[in-house]
């Protein structure tokens, strides 16, 4: 096996060049790393400080999250440019190259830019806020964060879903919890042999007995349809948005149990088949 001679002229030239490079650029590189590290810490502190100030001013949490991320990334970009300047790179030329590259990247990433623009519009118009339950882009869930390019949702079964902002703005936005009150819509059927007045009295009594159901607007109980197998009532009480599902579930159960106790039938779809024998 051939031994390496560390005293060869070629190796001496490499060591000389390495020593020259370290002496010329080593300090600059070290300063650039320090500038970048310090700038990173400062950008985080500034973005957090701005978020705290906005929280004290009781600004919407969605807007706080968006502004915090925006400030952080803008400061981080400025710090990166400053660090490159410390290394010795011509920042002016770099910015010109970066602008040209940005144009090309912008064309390639037009979908991402549209998501960014949609995020800005969502913030400005405030279609929803953090904590609202919404249906956006075909997905339903609680808004956890509105980011630069997407919106984070938490579904009722605890899945984390990221919906692109452009698909949200280009589709129907349903904010379920935007208002303080909601109406429960139920359809309750009784048999054709049951008394309508008796069934209506039971339904109205159940609504009046539940303290969570609002008196204003008044609940509605009315015959809505003579269906194929049943006489259908619409039952429409108003409740606080936070009580919606609890009241709905309790009311459905109470209707079934009370109808059974009072002898009111809840028919199910059925057909009578008549067979004729030809002679």
For domain 181-262, give the fold. Answer: Alpha-Beta Plaits (3.30.70)
Q: Is the pLDDT of residue 58 over 80?
A: no
Cα–Cα distance for residue pair 274/279, rounded to 1 Å: 16
Average pLDDT, the chain: 83
pLDDT tens, position by position, 136-161? 988 999 999 888 788 999 999 999 99
Q: Phi, psi at residue 186, to the nearest 5°?
A: -125, 150
- For 22, the enclosing helix (H) or strand (E) is none
CB count, 10 Å around CB of 167? 17
Per 3-state DSSP, the chain is made up of helix, strand and coil in percentages (nearest 5) of 55, 20, 30
| Inter-residue contact 232 to 263 (CB < 8 Å) | no
* DSSP symbol at 256: H
CATH number for region 128-175:
2.30.30.60
What's the pLDDT score for residue 27?
Answer: 67
Mean pLDDT along residues 237-254: 96
| Inter-residue contact 152 to 142 (CB < 8 Å) | no
Q: Is the pLDDT of residue 93 over 70?
A: no
Mean pLDDT along residues 254-273: 87
Only one residue has tokens 């010109």, namely 96
What is the percent of the chain with per-residue pLDDT over 70, rounded to a whole number?
78
| Inter-residue contact 239 to 207 (CB < 8 Å) | no
Greatest Cα pair distance, the chain, in angstroms, is 119
Give burial (CB, 10 Å; 0-12/13-18/19+) of 89: middle
| Inter-residue contact 197 to 231 (CB < 8 Å) | no
More confident residue, 163 or 64: 163
CB count, 10 Å around CB of 121? 13
Cα–Cα distance for residue pair 206/264, rounded to 1 Å: 14
What's the pLDDT score for residue 104?
Answer: 61
- Residue among 231, 205, 236, 234 at smallest CA distance from 218: 236
DSSP assignments along 124-164, one per residue: HHTS--TT-EEEETTEEEEEEEE-SSEEEEE-TT--EEEEE
Architecture in CATH for domain 12-108: Orthogonal Bundle (1.10)
What's the pLDDT score for residue 50?
Answer: 83
Ordered by start, the domain boundaries in the chain are 12-108, 128-175, 181-262
What's the pLDDT score for residue 270?
Answer: 67
Only one residue has tokens 């379920």, namely 176
């Amino acid at each position: 096996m051939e031994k390496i001679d560390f005293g060869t002229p070629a190796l001496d030239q490499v060591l000389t060049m390495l020593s020259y490079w370290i002496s010329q650029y080593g300090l600059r590189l070290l300063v650039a790393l320090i500038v970048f590290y310090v700038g990173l810490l400062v950008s985080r502190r500034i973005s957090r400080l701005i978020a705290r100030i906005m929280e004290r001013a009781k600004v919407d949490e969605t807007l706080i999250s968006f502004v915090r991320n925006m400030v952080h990334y803008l400061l981080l970009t400025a710090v990166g440019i400053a660090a490159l300047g410390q290394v010795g790179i011509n920042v002016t030329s770099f910015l010109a190259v970066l602008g040209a590259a940005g144009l090309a990247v912008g064309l390639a990433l037009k979908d991402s830019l549209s998501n960014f623009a949609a995020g800005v519009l969502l913030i400005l118009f405030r279609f929803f806020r953090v904590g609202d339950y919404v249906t956006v882009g075909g997905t339903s869930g609680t808004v956890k964060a509105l980011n630069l390019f997407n919106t984070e949702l938490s579904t009722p079964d605890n899945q984390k879903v990221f919906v692109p902002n452009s698909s949200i703005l280009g589709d129907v936005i349903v904010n379920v919890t935007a208002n303080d009150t909601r109406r429960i819509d139920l359809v309750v059927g009784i048999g054709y042999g049951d008394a309508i007045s008796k069934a209506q009295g039971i339904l109205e009594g159940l609504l009046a007995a539940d303290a969570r159901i609002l008196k204003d607007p008044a609940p509605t109980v009315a015959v809505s349809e003579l269906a194929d197998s049943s006489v259908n009532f619409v039952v429409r009480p108003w409740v606080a948005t936070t009580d919606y599902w609890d009241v709905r579930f309790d009311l459905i159960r109470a209707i079934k149990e009370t109808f059974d106790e009072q002898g009111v039938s809840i028919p199910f779809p059925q057909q009578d088949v008549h067979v004729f024998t030809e002679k």
